[in-house]
Structure 1
Amino acid sequence: MAFKRMAQALIGVLLLAILSACGNSGEESDKELMVQFVPTNNDGTMEAKSEPLADYLSEKLDREVEVTVATDYSSIVEAMDSGQVDIGIMPPAAYVQARETNGAEAILTSQLGDYDQETGLPLEGELTNTFKGEILVRTDSDIESLEDLKDKKIITLSPTSASGYIYPIAEMREAGINPTNEVTMTTVSDIPSELSGVLSEQADAAFVFEGARNVFASFFTDDDLFEELRVLYLTEGDIPNDAIAVQPDMDSDLKQEIKTAFLNMKDDKKGSEAMAIWGHQGYEEAADAAYDTVREYTEKASE
């Protein structure tokens, strides 16, 4: 009898453990996912524009998804490092910084529309997983080469921006210009502010990403960016596109579900609408080594 009661008690304990494990598994599978991205401008509309992404991912992943906007490049790195964010749509330099502290793992690289480097216009149907840094000056400027930027005023983005700072600065150093004391640099928070600064002659040049005049043309109803601004220089180095990154210790099945959801976006009406926030036109498997060049350029820029 005693043995029977002991066996029944043991079975009860095992059942309780199994039910508890199932309950915890269910809680994990229902856990809300936090997504964050860095906006291309600070016009106050990006929060609302992120709703299609939250809706799409919630539907495809069958769980609640919240999308937030990072205040800048460093804040998304901090959010990934601290585990506050599960999925980061990360600019290349921000991703490399988070990767080095084991705060992020790239599962996909974004694809962007490619540009004709002679005209600056989009190449219809052409996609690329890299882009160039671009230095813009006024069309009537007498600046004709990278070397001519010496003693000029330049508007840049954060020192953690690949195209808005790191790559142009690194290549200026290679051209024999010391950005620390041979140019005057002003940092702003977004590209429309950079473009405005050059248009209004507050600065001589701006560091932006390739195709910026196309992307932000609608922001300038009184200016024709192609008539008033020209490309002085495209960086020789290719910059890898944004990374879709997750927490490195995320469940492998969930990583695969997220990867599949992003890969299918371009073939889904709601997905295409969601991608439009950043101009992404698709995703492909991440070649993590492709981001090594960002680290190399960061070291050159800081010499």
Structure 2
Amino acid sequence: MKFLRSLIVGVATFACVAAHAEDLNFGIISTDASSTLRQRWQPLIDDLNRKTGLHVKAFFATDYAGIIEAMRFNKVQIGYFGNASAMEAVDRSNGEVFVKSVNANGVGGYYSVLITNVNSRFKTLDDVFKNTKDVNLGWGDPNSTSGTLIPGYYLFAKRGVPVTSVSFKTVLPSSHEANLLAVINNKIDVATNNTQELDRLQTQHPDKFAQVRVLWKSPLIPSDPLVYRKDLPQETKEKLRDFFVSYAKTDPHEKEVMKNLTNYSGFAASSDAQLVPIRQVALFQQKQKLEADTSLSDAERKTQVAAIDAKLSALNDAAAKQ
């Protein structure tokens, strides 16, 4: 009897461990309010659990860094990121890109934009840069691709205007949703955002969409990736990859879930290679800052710039082989 009792306890313990190994937290970056994100993502997570047998729970934080750090300390095992935050998750949090979103319009990515209210005094981009010290700028999360990284380089750095409180009247970092509402309600002069948010606004609230003017659009940004931790069991990785790659291909319910999620049609297989263009922009920005840093000696600056040039060269080679 004692042996049987021990055996039962052992099996129960093993079952708990096995179940725990299948418990995952799905981190979702804070593009909008947590309640809004939960409403969009929970139907997909429910389907994920039902189809794979995994026990996945949504995990939210107040900013992008919260999801990156949660993955770093294994509080989050899978996450939805933008490319800039995915780069941080890969570099700092033992992450690995495994799929990317596919837009409903078939475009292989999306665009960063600078927006203003249709009735604002800013009719063109030249109006903004005529005197930026008189402009209230709505800025993105520090780890946002479309809210900070891409416009920081392609829109502002290329014009020699750093995004600081010295260059602008005010710089107000916030979520895409908050920046969009601030522009619609004339609470801010201009703000960064992206075409995914605008497409959703046009579909759901065409009257509010009519209040937005786009002043600038970036080069194409690779579509948003999903990242999981490299140390997940291989079987779990395969379950996740298979689920997302096959999701919403034919099933009407799944197609509706994706449409409500963020106007996506589904997911496609991907890898860390999709981050190469983002790495190139980030490194080029670092190089520009070093070249303008007067606190460094010429020798220090030359050494650090050379190191960045070497990384850029390696990335260019990697991009050429894709």
- Normalised by the size of structure 1, how large is the TM-score? 0.78
Q: List aligned pairs for 1:95-174, cutoff 5 A.
A: 95-113=86-104, 126-140=105-119, 141-145=121-125, 148-149=128-129, 150-151=132-133, 152-171=135-154, 172-174=156-158
Higher helix share: 2
- 1:225 maps to 2:205: no
**2 CA distance for matches of 1:64 and 1:43?**
20
Q: 1:148 to 1:187 in 2, by over 3 A?
A: closer
**2 CA distance for matches of 1:208 and 1:40?**
10
* Counterpart residue number, 1:4: none
* Counterpart residue number, 1:257: 239
- Normalised by the size of structure 2, how large is the TM-score? 0.74
**2 CA distance for matches of 1:300 and 1:202?**
33
Q: CA deviation at 1:163?
A: 0.7
- 1:77 maps to 2:68: yes
Q: What letter matches 2:242 in structure 1?
A: T
* Counterpart residue number, 2:160: 176
Q: 1:230 to 1:178 in 2, by over 3 A?
A: same
SS at match of 2:248: helix
* Counterpart residue number, 1:193: 178
**2 CA distance for matches of 1:177 and 1:22?**
62
* Counterpart residue number, 2:306: none
SS at match of 1:137: strand
Q: List aligned pairs for 1:198-277, cutoff 5 A.
A: 198-217=183-202, 223-226=207-210, 228-236=211-219, 238-267=220-249, 268-275=251-258, 276-277=260-261
**2 CA distance for matches of 1:195 and 1:45?**
15
Q: 1:203 to 1:48 in 2, by over 3 A?
A: closer
**1 CA distance for matches of 2:252 and 2:94?**
32
Q: CA deviation at 1:270?
A: 4.4
- On the 8 A contact 1:158/1:187 being kept in 2, the answer is no
**2 CA distance for matches of 1:242 and 1:299?**
20
- Which has the larger displacement, 260-269 or 25-34? 25-34
- Cα distance per residue 1:202-260 (max 9 Å; x no partner): 32211001243331247768x5423x322111113x32222111110112222111111
**2 CA distance for matches of 1:287 and 1:204?**
38
* Counterpart residue number, 1:7: none
- On the 8 A contact 1:192/1:216 being kept in 2, the answer is no
When the two chains are superposed, the root-mean-square deviation of aligned CA atoms in Å is 3.0
Q: How many residue pairs end up in the alignment?
A: 273
Q: 1:146 to 1:21 in 2, by over 3 A?
A: farther
- Unmatched tracts of structure 1, length 5 or more: 1-15, 114-125
Q: 1:269 to 1:66 in 2, by over 3 A?
A: farther
Q: 1:284 to 1:146 in 2, by over 3 A?
A: farther
Q: CA deviation at 1:29?
A: 5.9
Q: CA deviation at 1:134?
A: 0.5
Q: Quick one: percent identity of the two aligned structures?
A: 20
SS at match of 1:244: strand
Q: What letter matches 1:196 in structure 2?
A: L
Q: What letter matches 1:166 in structure 2?
A: L
**2 CA distance for matches of 1:163 and 1:241?**
11
**2 CA distance for matches of 1:63 and 1:178?**
46
- On the 8 A contact 1:137/1:205 being kept in 2, the answer is yes
- On the 8 A contact 1:42/1:189 being kept in 2, the answer is no
Runs of 4+ in structure 1 off by over 6 angstroms are 20-23
Q: In terms of Rg, which structure is larger?
A: 1
**1 CA distance for matches of 2:71 and 2:244?**
19
**2 CA distance for matches of 1:196 and 1:133?**
17
SS at match of 2:262: coil
